[in-house]
């Protein structure tokens, strides 16, 4: 296995983003014994249930408070840390849909950034609210 050969030669630092299942993880990192002491592997996933056998430490990001969430959303939606006055209500509505989750805030802000009117924003946010009742926005 080419990956096993490369990683067994010395300490490595690997970042695996958005790993979705055990088979995918096994194909990418194989067995812990492949890696030399000092190696670090960072894995991001929405479902960590398949990580237990391979995980040394687990870190779960904290949800952002309302102010931090609004700033992050606005940075991605408007390119600045606060919304224009006319988009304040819509921005707060968008932030509420994301439940303080940074990835959701970034994705929704980026998605709405090219919408050119308040009506477009209102329409998109209402569609999201209807399609995701009582659920966290998964993007």
- Structure confidence by residue, pLDDT tens digits, 8-65: 888 888 888 888 888 888 888 877 788 888 888 888 888 888 876 666 787 777 889 9
What is the pLDDT at residue 77? 98
Structure tokens at 32: 């812990």
Structure confidence at residue 53 (pLDDT): 64
**Domains in the chain: how many in total?**
2
> In this structure, is residue 48 part of a structural domain?
no
pTM: 0.61
Structure tokens at 104: 């959701």
For residues 45 and 19, the answer to whether their CB atoms sit within 8 Å is yes
pLDDT at 37: 84
Same domain, 71 and 39: no
CA distances from 61 to 5, 58, 127 (A): 33, 10, 28
In a domain, 106, yes or no: yes
Domain assignment present for residue 59? The answer is: no
Residue 83 lies in a domain: yes
93 and 125 in a single domain? The answer is yes
Q: Return the higher-pLDDT residue of 122 and 37.
A: 122
Query: What range does the domain containing 8 cover?
Result: 2-43
Q: Are 77 and 125 within one domain?
A: yes
Span of 47-56, 78-87, 88-97 with lowest mean pLDDT: 47-56
What's the confidence (pLDDT) of residue 54? 62
Confidence of residue 137 (pLDDT cuts 50, 70, 90): very low
């Amino acid at each position: 296995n080419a990956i096993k050969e490369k990683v067994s030669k010395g300490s490595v630092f690997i970042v695996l983003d958005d790993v979705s299942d055990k088979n995918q993880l096994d194909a990418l990192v194989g067995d812990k014994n492949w890696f030399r002491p000092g190696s670090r592997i960072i894995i991001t996933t929405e479902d960590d249930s398949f990580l237990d056998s391979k995980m040394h430490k687990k870190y779960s990001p904290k949800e952002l408070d309302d102010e931090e969430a609004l700033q992050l959303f606005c940075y991605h939606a408007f390119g600045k840390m606060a919304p224009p006055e006319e988009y304040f209500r819509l921005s707060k509505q968008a932030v509420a849909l994301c439940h303080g989750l940074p990835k959701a805030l970034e994705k929704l802000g980026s998605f709405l950034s090219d919408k050119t009117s308040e009506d477009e924003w209102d329409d998109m946010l209402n569609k999201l609210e209807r399609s995701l009742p009582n659920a966290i926005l998964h993007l």
